[in-house]
Amino acid sequence: MKKLVRITTVPISLEKLLEGQLGYMKKHYKVIAVSSEAEKMESLSTREQVQTFTVDFTRKITPLKDLKALLKLYKFFKREKPFIVHTHTPKAGTIGMLAAKLAGVPHRLHTVAGLPLLEAQGAKRLLLDTVEKTTYGCASKVYPNSFGLSNIIEENGYTKPEKLKVIGNGSSNGIDTRYFDPEMFDDNQRRELRSDHHIGADDLVFIFVGRLVKDKGINELIVAFDLLYKGHPHIKLLLVGSKENDLDPLLPETEVMIDTHEGIIAVGFKQDVRPYFSMADVLAFPTYREGFPNVVMQAGAMGLPSIVTDINGCNEIIKDGVNGVIIQPKNEEQLLMAMQLMIQDPTKRGYMKTHCRPMIEKNYQRSVIWKALLEEYKALENV
């Protein structure tokens, strides 16, 4: 059986962003999962019943550690001789593709799920542009996980257009709509969940799920919510996710507001976000950049209309006025107006709600994405 190596920078990406894929692909290939954090990789190996290999990737620029990781991966590829190496996330992509190229791996695939460099400037942007081009140059195929992202890559000249392909309708993994199903929570459960978090039965709840960082638009979200709350004390903002102060800190005043505002409920990172979606009414997701956001698909599958920014991925899942509202990034005024619409026009909000789950079911079922990716792998056997 041919060997397929899947690589991410940290194990949580294998566990969450690619959930279920390893098990699906191991019916067709000998799957080897590669990431950092040995203890978590051991747990992954036991749970998924696949071989694992640990490499000490970092998410920051660490030249010495990166060189060590490159050498370790190179030796691993020379020993294992995989048919396909498929990388995800920036650091794993750069080191994985370079090591695979040097080791002579025949098929080197890289999925792009976002471009952090789009927010960089000056020398840092120049460096990140060079790294991106190096990654794509070493890859034999590049899979942007949205059509908008594919356009950005082509416009910036990061690689040749013939190397690019979007799998299915976009997304790295699709969504399991049997798992993200609002019918799993009845009215009594929702009332109890709301009560546990001091949310009234008639409160309108905005929810954000993801990392609480500047690039996700949290500073703007907090400002907009606070302004709205003064005139609408029956609304709540539920924040599900952890901060990353070392990588992308929030403004100090935002941190204070999150900790002290009576309308804001911050619950931290949660493995299972479904109960929180079930007690919410609207997803507020004013992010600056994305690849193809799982959170927006999850919210839609759970029947929540979304407020998203006009960026790749988000503007492919959401159709403005149909299953959500699209605003410009970094625009507090538009965000406030969109949130106000959700509060003041329950008929419009209800209309959008009826379209949310059907649109996700039609376009982003997980099984469809897996099958399309497998077909891509199988086509390589005839190259």
What pLDDT does residue 120 have?
75
Give the C-alpha separation, 129 to 153, whole Å. Answer: 10
Residues above pLDDT 70, as percent of the chain = 100
- 335-350 burial: b if 16+ Cβ within 10 Å, else e: bbebbebbbeeeeebe
Beta carbons of 174 and 367 less than 8 angstroms apart: yes
CA–CA separation, 236 vs 232, rounded Å?
A: 9
According to DSSP H, which parts of the chain are helical? 11-12, 21-25, 38-48, 63-80, 90-103, 122-138, 147-155, 187-196, 218-231, 252-260, 274-278, 294-301, 314-317, 332-344, 346-363, 366-380
Give the mean pLDDT of 25-43.
95
pLDDT bin (cut points 50, 70, 90) of residue 260 is very high
Tokens of 304: 């929540």
Q: Which domains does the chain have, with CATH numbers?
A: 3-174+366-380 (3.40.50.2000), 182-363 (3.40.50.2000)
Q: Stretch 332-348: mean pLDDT, rounded?
A: 98
pLDDT band at residue 358 using 50, 70 and 90 as cut-offs: very high
Tens-place pLDDT, residues 207-219: 999 999 999 999 9
Task: Quickly state the pLDDT bin for 195 (edges 50, 70, 90).
Answer: very high
pLDDT above 90 (res 83): yes
pLDDT tens digit sequence for 149-166: 999 999 999 999 999 999
pTM of the model: 0.82
- The residue type of 292 is F
pLDDT band at 383 (very low <50, low <70, confident <90, very high): confident
What is the reported pLDDT for 114?
80
What pLDDT is attached to residue 166?
95
Question: Tokens at residue 92, please?
Answer: 């794993």
Using a 10 angstrom Cβ sphere, with 0-12 exposed, 13-18 middle and 19 or more buried, the burial of residue 45 is middle
- Tokens in use for 28? 């067709």
Neighbours of 164 (CB within 10 A): 19
- pLDDT reported for residue 185: 96
CA 178 to each of CA 23, 96, 184, 316: distance values in angstroms, whole numbers, following the listed order: 17, 33, 9, 22
Do the Cβ atoms of 317 and 296 come closer than 8 Å?
yes
| Segment 124-140 mean pLDDT | 91
Residue pLDDT, tens place only, 88-123: 988 999 999 999 999 999 999 999 988 877 777 888
User: How far is residue 50's CA from residue 7's CA, in Å, rounded to a whole number?
Assistant: 13
Residue 128 has pLDDT above 90, yes or no: no
Which tokens sit at 79?
A: 């020993």
Kindly give the pairing relationship between strand 235-240 and strand 107-112.
Answer: unpaired
Buried b (16+ CB within 10 A) or exposed e, 169-186: bbbbbbbebeebebeebe
CA distance 280 to 238: 8
